[in-house]
C-alpha cells in the first residue's frame, strides 16, 4: 500500500521543493498584460485590460483606475502614467509571488518566509486589521510615500510607486463596517477578506462606491505635482457616478462597472507600449520587493510624533 502512494508523495514533495525556485530573486514571474508578446508583434489594440478574459485579478480598481487618474495627473507624460498603472497591477497579477491568498499559503510552509507573508498582507494589500483611526493614518502615510518617490522623479522608483498605489487602493477597498459602530475597520492579515463582513463587498466599486470616490481624490493628490488636469478627474468622477447608478439595473453590477471603466480608460488612452512591457517585467523581483516592503512597513507602522 505504501509503495502505491510513493509516486504521489514524490510528486507532492517535488512541487513543494519547486516553490523556492518560483519565488527566488532571479525569477521574473508573470506580467499583468498576459499577451504582451503577441500584441507587440501584431500591434493590436489593447484587450488585456478588459474583463472578458479569465484572469485572477479585477482590472477596474487597480490598473484601469490607476491609468485614468495618472493620465489626469500627468497629461503631458502618458509614458509615466502607463508605467505607474502597470506596476500597480503587479501585486495581483503576479499572484504566486505577491498576491495575499497565494503568499498566505506557500509562505506559511517556510518559517524564513513568515516576515515576507506579513509584509505582503499587512503592507502591500493593506490587511492590517486596524480601526478607522489606523486606516486614516495608513492612508496619509501611503500618500506621503507616493509623493516622496514621485518627487525624486527617477525611473527606478516607478515600480515602487505602482506598488504603493496598489496599497493605497487596497486601503480603501479592504475595509468593512460594523452595525452600530462608527467608521470602518480593515480586514486582518490572517484570512483577509476571504469571508466578507459588513454591509458591502470588498474590491467592488459599485458596492463600496463612497470609498472608491475617496480613493480617486487621494490618488490624484498623491500623484499631482502641480501640472495635473483636475477637469479630467472631474469628468471621470461624473462618468463613474453615472455608471454605478446604471449598474443597479444590471444583472451583474460589478461586471457592468468593470467593462465600462475599461472602455473609458482605453477610449481616450494613448497607444500603449506593449513591446516595452516585456522589458518592464525584469525590473521587479522578489528580493527587491521584500526589501522595499520591509522598509515601508517601518514607515507605515512607526509611532505618531506628538
Kindly write down the DSSP assignment for every residue of 212-273, as one continuous string: HHHHHHHHHHHH--S---HHHHHHHHHHHHHHHHHHTTSSSHHHHHHHHHHHHHHHSPPPP-
How much is the pTM?
0.84
Do the beta carbons of residue 88 and residue 66 sit within 8 Å?
yes
**From CA 253, how far away is CA 205, in angstroms rounded?**
9
- Please report, for the chain, the start and end positions of each structural domain, with discontinuous segments joined by +: 60-301
20 has a pLDDT exceeding 70: no
The gap between the terminal CA atoms of the chain, to the nearest Å, is: 67
pLDDT band at 3 (very low <50, low <70, confident <90, very high): low
- Considering just the CA atoms, what is the radius of gyration of the chain in Å? 20
Provide the pLDDT for residue 43: 39
Mean model confidence pLDDT for the chain = 82
Do the beta carbons of residue 163 and residue 88 sit within 8 Å?
yes
Helix (H, G, I), strand (E, B) or coil at 177: coil
Q: Which residue has the higher pLDDT, 219 or 105?
A: 219
Q: Pick the range with the lowest mean pLDDT from 78-82, 135-139, 247-251.
A: 78-82
Amino acid at each position: 500500500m505504501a509503495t502505491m502512494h510513493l509516486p504521489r508523495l514524490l510528486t507532492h514533495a517535488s512541487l513543494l521543493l519547486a516553490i523556492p525556485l518560483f519565488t527566488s530573486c532571479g525569477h521574473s514571474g508573470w506580467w499583468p498584460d498576459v499577451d504582451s508578446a503577441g500584441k507587440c508583434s501584431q500591434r493590436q489594440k489593447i484587450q488585456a485590460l478588459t474583463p472578458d478574459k479569465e484572469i485572477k485579478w479585477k482590472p477596474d480598481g487597480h490598473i484601469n483606475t490607476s491609468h485614468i487618474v495618472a493620465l489626469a495627473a500627468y497629461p503631458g507624460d502618458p509614458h509615466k502614467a502607463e508605467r505607474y498603472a502597470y506596476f500597480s497591477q503587479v501585486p495581483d497579477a503576479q499572484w504566486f509571488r505577491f498576491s495575499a491568498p497565494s503568499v498566505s499559503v506557500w509562505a506559511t510552509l517556510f518559517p524564513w518566509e513568515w516576515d515576507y507573508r506579513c509584509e505582503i498582507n499587512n503592507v502591500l494589500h493593506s490587511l492590517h486589521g486596524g480601526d478607522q483611526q489606523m486606516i486614516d493614518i495608513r492612508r496619509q502615510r501611503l500618500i506621503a510615500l507616493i509623493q516622496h518617490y514621485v518627487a525624486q522623479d527617477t525611473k527606478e522608483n516607478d515600480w515602487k510607486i505602482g506598488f504603493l498605489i496598489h496599497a493605497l487602493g487596497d486601503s480603501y477597498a479592504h475595509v468593512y463596517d460594523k452595525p452600530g459602530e462608527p467608521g470602518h475597520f480593515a480586514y486582518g492579515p490572517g484570512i483577509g477578506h476571504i469571508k466578507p463582513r459588513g454591509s458591502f463587498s470588498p474590491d467592488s466599486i459599485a458596492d463600496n462606491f463612497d470609498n472608491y470616490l475617496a480613493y480617486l481624490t487621494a490618488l490624484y493628490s498623491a500623484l499631482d505635482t502641480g501640472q495635473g488636469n483636475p477637469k479630467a478627474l472631474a469628468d471621470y468622477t461624473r462618468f463613474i457616478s453615472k455608471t454605478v447608478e446604471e449598474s443597479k439595473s444590471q444583472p451583474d453590477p460589478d461586471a457592468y462597472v468593470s467593462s465600462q471603466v475599461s472602455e473609458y480608460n482605453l477610449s481616450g488612452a494613448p497607444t500603449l507600449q506593449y513591446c516595452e512591457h516585456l522589458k518592464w517585467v525584469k525590473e521587479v523581483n522578489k528580493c527587491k520587493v521584500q526589501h522595499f516592503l520591509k522598509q515601508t512597513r517601518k514607515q507605515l507602522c512607526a509611532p505618531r510624533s506628538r
